[in-house]
Structure 1
Amino acid sequence: MSDGHALYLQVNGLSTHAWVRGSGPPLVIVPGLGCASWMYVRVSRELAKSRTVYVYDPPGHGYSQGLRHLPESIGELTDHLAEWLEMAGLAGAPVFGHSLGGEVAFDLAARYPTHASALIACAPTGIPENPSVLAQLVRLSVDLPRERLSLLVPGLRAYAHCGVRRMLKLAHDQELHDTGPLLGQIKVPTLLIDGTSDPVIRLWTLEAIRNAIPHALVCEIKGGTHALTDVYPRTVARYTLDFLENVN
């Protein structure tokens, strides 16, 4: 990531990294489970044409420090993100969450209603019924061969850094995380972006989220897989920037 610069902040004793690029109003990207800031180069570059993009690394992900016992739950990820937004002076900025990052964004908007002015949830988890860890692994194994081969190495690097134990703990908590009540508390403008060929997030799951957040807008990318941010960065950026221009 040659363009932009790294931002490190101490959040509750943990060195927390974000990669910053672009200029204009801020936009925060929250990665998916086990993912890292370097996996979002393509979409962040497109978004940075109109925004100052902060690609945040959650604790234990990417270049951010974690502890053996932290984080192990969606709530801990959300609490850390809320603290980081305050310390970075970004509380109230729009938040873009991919996959599990979308679920964290939902949690943030419900429990910290002043911390996000708008949500963009791309291929989000966070449905009223989350699959078991085994089902998640099976779906991911189906999706991986459909993604760009050049994402494999940075993806494996990110997963290795996060660690199997942490990923399994978070995936298990995801299975238990009841977003039903939380989704109904989201009042900020919300955009849902989904790929029609995503085996991880089924089309009916987006409908469940849409029913729980009646004001949410939905954009579908025909043939899109789970890594929409990498395979369709321009389309995702266009939907996102158009949405933010109208609401933020």
Structure 2
Amino acid sequence: MGRWEIVPIRTRSQLISTVIVLAAVGTVLDSVLTPGFTAGVWFGLIFMISPLTGIILGPYAGFLSVLISILIGHSVMFRETVYEFLFAIGAPIGAAMSGLLFRGRWKPVFLYYTGALAAFLLTPVSWQLPLWGIWDCLLAYLAIVPAAAIIGRWTAEPLDLKRLPIVLALCALIGLEADVLFRIFVFVPCQTYRLFYGFTPEVLRVIWITTAPTITPAKVAVSAFFTSSIGASLAKAMAGRARPMSGGHEA
């Protein structure tokens, strides 16, 4: 289990206050709408903070904090349909995955990816969709075990601020793609493309090959860079950063 942490959280009051602060930041970002989008994974900017929230708070408190953010943010700036609340659950799931991986708990992350991808690949309509449409999710899936090996080896030693940005970027990438994968699971295997939106398989294919393969990876890259930069700066600012650190709170 990893020994690094970004923000030391030692007491329940510190945990609660950090959950509230990050939920407030997340709410603001989720309420900032991306120009050119009316719905979907990148309509708000919650993706900028969700991985770091999971990394700082741990998988459980991180999930809760991001969930609060999307519930309030989606209510303040209502999306195109009420269905967006369901898809947005991918954000706290992604935060939890980032938090798990940062703490060396890669097996639940691997099982999540395996189950979600299996559900997609076993859905008949997915056979009409080119696999390269989810190339970024597949790449993240293949990166889980190597990333876990790197993170486990590095975090077994005292905090290294030179290596920390790499660890944060890996956790952010895999966590964000877990978010995307949940939305794919809801959209395709659960057939909400048809039940919610009335799309035919032909329309689904057009959506699949036009925007998903490019927009999603670009924004994942932006968030991974943000997470590694801000996370490393926070760690550097914390008192006692030169001492070996124990794993963050996971309540």
TM-score, normalised with respect to structure 1? 0.32
Richer in strand (by share):
1
* More RCO (CA 8 Å, sep 6+): 2
TM-score, normalised with respect to structure 2? 0.32
Richer in helix (by share):
2
